[in-house]
């Protein structure tokens, strides 16, 4: 129903990507860091979220997850990605439906990403 490999990573640009304590522990282990160091390096408090993912600049979406490769348009920590990223989007992805529909109607397989690159 969707293909993340053909998408510029819209869901990775959501303003708040909430992590659990277990997610931070997984990241700490992945990078060989202590929990506190990983928490400070990769997350920040944002409203009610104790462990919101830190983000960085992105030419397409403005801001995006700090672990997103903005050139290759993919996750750089796939095996250590947070729970929410493993579960999202479930059955269908609305953004991918939109993207696929637009690319089909424009007869342009790179529509949107190619436009943003100009």
Query: Exactly one of 17, 24, 38, 100 binds ligand SF4 (CB under 6 A); which one?
Result: 17
Cα–Cα dist 89/11, whole Å: 9
What are the strands, taking DSSP E only, across the chain? 43-46, 49-53, 55-58, 62-65, 68-69, 74-75
Scanning 31-39, 43-51, 79-87, 103-111 for contacts with ligand SF4 by CB under 6 A, the matching segment is 79-87
The answer to the question of residue 12 lying near ligand SF4 (CB under 6 A) is yes
- Which region, left, alpha or beta, applies to residue 47 given φ > 0 means left and ψ of -120 to 50 means alpha? left
Query: Exactly one of 38, 52, 85, 100 binds ligand SF4 (CB under 6 A); which one?
Result: 85
Three-state SS at 36: helix
**Do 43 and 54 meet the contact criterion of CB atoms below 8 Å apart?**
yes
The answer to the question of residue 61 lying near ligand SF4 (CB under 6 A) is no
User: How many binding residues for ligand SF4 (CB under 6 A)?
Assistant: 21
The answer to the question of residue 93 lying near ligand SF4 (CB under 6 A) is yes
The answer to the question of residue 11 lying near ligand SF4 (CB under 6 A) is yes
Q: How many helical (H) and strand (E) elements, i.e. helices and strands, does the chain have?
A: 5, 6
Scanning 32-40, 43-51, 76-84, 105-113 for contacts with ligand SF4 by CB under 6 A, the matching segment is 76-84
- Give the residues lining the site for ligand SF4 (CB under 6 A): 2, 4, 7, 9-12, 17, 65, 67-68, 75, 77, 81-82, 85, 88-89, 93, 95-96
């Amino acid at each position: 129903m969707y293909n993340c490999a053909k998408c510029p990573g819209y869901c990775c640009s959501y303003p708040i990507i909430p992590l659990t304590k277990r997610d931070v522990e997984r990241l700490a282990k992945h990078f060989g860091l202590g929990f506190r160091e990983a928490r400070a390096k990769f997350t920040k408090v944002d409203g009610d979220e104790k462990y919101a993912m830190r983000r960085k600049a992105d030419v397409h979406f403005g801001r995006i997850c700090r672990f997103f490769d903005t050139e290759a348009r993919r996750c750089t920590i796939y095996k250590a990605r947070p729970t929410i990223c493993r579960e999202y989007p479930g059955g269908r992805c609305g953004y991918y439906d939109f993207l696929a529909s637009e690319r089909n109607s424009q007869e342009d397989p790179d529509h949107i990403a190619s436009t943003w690159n100009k």
